[in-house]
Structure 1
Amino acid sequence: MDRGADWEEQRRQAIAGHAAALEAGRAAEAREAGALLSDFVRRAAERGLTPRTLQARTFDGRATYRTHVRGWYLKSNRSVAVGEDGKYYVLTVPGSLRARFAGADLSPSTPRLIVGAGGGDGETVPLKQLLDKRLEAGVSWP
């Protein structure tokens, strides 16, 4: 093998190693965030915080649809929530005539320890802070 081929192979291995480390870090973060969400659901039940049917807003913000998920909003703008299943939901969906009548379908998102990280709007908040704030607000919160 010539030096160029050796260098290319080393580069490929370094890239693969970096990608594996990044994925392992994301998985560990998701597990830690998932534990926080599960703890929140338990504590919310202990405090008598009743989950409500969540609503999702279209990407353009013009319409709001009910969903088939029950849970608690974590931000006052109702953009993220934790479901009673302990999953994390980002409450934006594409516009749909079907959703207007039948409700929007939501899929859980991978939770992160910093909500809004990588979102581009500059508003980042630690997940634990949002969960604690929601518990402190109690039933008076939307």
Structure 2
Amino acid sequence: MDSKLDDTMINLMNRNHKRLTYQRKEILKILNDNGNKHVSVEEIQRLAKENNVILSISTIYRTMDILHKIGAVIKHNFGNGIAEYEIFEGNKNAHHHLICKKCGRIEEVFGLVGDNFNNQIFVEKGFKVEYQRLEIYGYCKECMNNSK
């Protein structure tokens, strides 16, 4: 895990009276190393095993629950009944998701909501946005082409 993320997580865990145990650190490393995709508990376990780290499924579930509650990760459910996670980085890398209802493909898209959206919400509604999440359901190009 890079030192900046490590320091951030240590501070976040300390503020929430949680220890950054070896298992939690390994899980955060896996999330960080796979920052370009969403990972499920089962994928975390498989990736840990590939790195010769043994983590029980219950440890991963408990850790993900803690990390979600303290705001370290974002939990997604894209309608397939499987929770998937990614490290929360605020709106630094704000992105949204296009989800195909036929094949289940998930595509991340950036820049759908204008940069001034959060400020506009604050000015008009007095609401400070911590992060935003937008899920758009429909059909990907491949599924539309295959149904013709």
Higher relative contact order (CA 8 A, sep 6+): 1
TM-score, normalization: structure 2? 0.24
Higher CA-based Rg: 1
TM-score, normalization: structure 1? 0.25
